[in-house]
Amino acid sequence: MRISLAVPLLAFLACLPAHAQGNAEAAKGKNSMCIGCHGIPMYRTAFPEVYSVPMIAGQAPDYIVKALQAYRAGDRSHPSMQGVAKSLSDQDMADLAAYYGGVGKTVK
């Protein structure tokens, strides 16, 4: 009986996508490509009021990862973002998502 439950459970778990665990502390050394457009603390011209660039501070980490993956795959179109995303590993994306997702509306 236990084996009959274990097999479907293992099959289900094998189908789930593997996501890197994000490390917000590690992202502090990786966010230089992000802050120029998405926000430098106390430097408001990088925010959407001027350039129509979204603020990503406080955004859901899963959304950030999916957006970066879509830029890397070419499913989302923006030349700068595609270039940045192609330079990021899955771990980099997870770290940046953890960092920006955890900082509220003000990047520190």
CA distance linking residue 54 with residue 39, whole number of Å? 9
Please, which pLDDT band fits residue 50 given cuts at 50, 70 and 90?
low
Closest C-alpha among 96, 98, 104, 106 to residue 41:
106
Per-residue pLDDT tens over the stretch 73-87: 999 999 999 999 999
Please, which pLDDT band fits residue 104 given cuts at 50, 70 and 90?
low
The pLDDT score that the predictor gives to residue 5 is: 59
**pLDDT over 50 (residue 16):** no
Structure token digits, residue 58: 């406080």
Among 14-18, 95-99, 100-104, the range with the most confident prediction by mean pLDDT is: 95-99
What are the boundaries of each domain within the chain?
Answer: 17-101
The pLDDT score that the predictor gives to residue 3 is: 61
What fold characterizes domain 17-101?
Cytochrome Bc1 Complex; Chain D, domain 2 (1.10.760)
CA atoms within 13 A on the CB side of 13: 6
Q: In this predicted model, which residue has the larger pLDDT, 102 or 98?
A: 98
CA distance linking residue 93 with residue 62, whole number of Å? 10
DSSP assignment, residue 40?
Answer: B
Q: Are 99 and 68 in contact (CB under 8 A)?
A: no
Q: Please state the length of the chain.
A: 108
